[in-house]
A = this chain, B = another copy of it.
Amino acid sequence: MDTPDVGELTPPERTLMGPGPSDVPPRVLRAMSTPLVGHLDPAFIDVMDDVQELLRYVFQTDNEYTFPVSGTGSASMEAAFTNLTEPSDTVVVPGNGYFGERMASMVRRAGGEPVVVEAPWGDPLDAEDLAAACAAHDPDLVALVHAETSTGVLQSNFADLAAIARDHGALVVADVVTSLGGVEFRTDEWGVDAAYSAAQKCLSCPPGASPLTLSGRAMDKILDREAPVRSWYLDVSELQEYWGAERAYHHTAPITNVYGLREALRLVAEEGIENCWARHERVAGAIKAGVEGMGLGLNPDPAYWLPTLNAVVLPDGVDDDAVIEYLLEEHAIEVAAGLGSLSGDVLRVGCMGHSARPRKALATVVGLGEAFEAQDADVDVAAGIEAARAALDRTG
């Protein structure tokens, strides 16, 4: 067969203000160009130790079993569900966004029975509804999304919901894909048994090694399973031999991704996790102020605003694809369309990790304003920009 003739890799420059990936800091990119050692090299064992210590810090946990899963965020998500769901287990999942549906699919594939707690897309779950579902179904697991990437909703009463689930004897699984490192989350203090995330959101690392933490209760359940986990690759009872004290071979770790994650987590530790949370809120506040200053709204109620993912309600008559294309072509900024029942109604504007910088928030507000103007929308772009600058204390 013919030999392919493929040119040099020359992707365009982008500012990544979508739902992920976010921009990657130069130090992390440099870490990813480090020559490799083997995945069982004593030097790599040290790197593993570092990454685990750093992950415990960003998860705010003392859990021993805290490590990166060898895949992108959906791999750590499935690791949580496929290990913690035994055949015929009942698992409560949220019905208010795209990722609750994915949870249900993973639960079913693991042999479990999902029970959906409904709320409209764009609203958070209601504590009473969760309590009713727990009372009615006596679930083995309760899975909750802390930060819904599809709707921009922060489940801001997360600790209360976790307490309800634990009161009913369920293990609590937390999706913190779009919040870990960007919005306050406290695994141990909030009584969470399993939490998973991705590298490419608030941690600003390329995707490929994805944080997972498991409490002692969660590990007990996994190690006491009768039926084997339905995935060999994601079987925590085997993975723990590599990421636990033994450091025995299971599969080859994604060495370069672990290097990158280590550096990304180091940056969080250098800044301080509380400072990271505060920066995300401040910078995203400028996007929020800018959008509102133009005369537009964000989707959720302010009480549930998720700084890391802003669901901007589109002006009447404005086409989302046209806005996305304009921003990409004229400003080299990536934002994304709405998903599911919000498709066509909102734009998803992320503000995560190294993308959560004042200059990028301002550029995004300017770009959004111009994109709306280009479609003759009734927006006050100048007022939006001034509101964003004021939110950042940039105005004189």
Contact = CB atoms under 8 A, between A and B. Distances in A.
Contacts of A72: 70, 251-254
Contact of A37 (B11, B54, B272): B11
B35 A32 contact: no
Interface stretch (A23-31, A139-147, A306-314): A23-31
A1 interface: yes
Contacts of A251: 72-75
A375 B233 CA distance: 39
A-side interface mostly: loop
Given A230-B230, A231-B230, A36 B1 contact: no
B57 A21 contact: no
Given A53-B4, A72-B252, A41 B20 contact: no
B12 A109 contact: no
B231 A231 contact: yes
A13 B5 CA distance: 33
A2 to B, nearest CB: 8
A260 B29 CA distance: 12
Interface in A140-194: none
A218 B271 CA distance: 50
B232 A60 contact: no
B78 A231 contact: yes
A105 B265 CA distance: 35
A31 B229 CA distance: 36
A256 interface: yes
A147 to B, nearest CB: 15
Contacts of A109: 228-232
Interface of A: 1-6, 9, 11-14, 16, 18, 20-21, 23-24, 29-44, 47, 50, 53-54, 56-57, 60, 62, 70-75, 77-78, 82, 102, 105-106, 108-110, 198, 200, 206-209, 228-234, 251-257, 259-260, 262-263, 265-266, 269, 272-273, 328, 334, 336
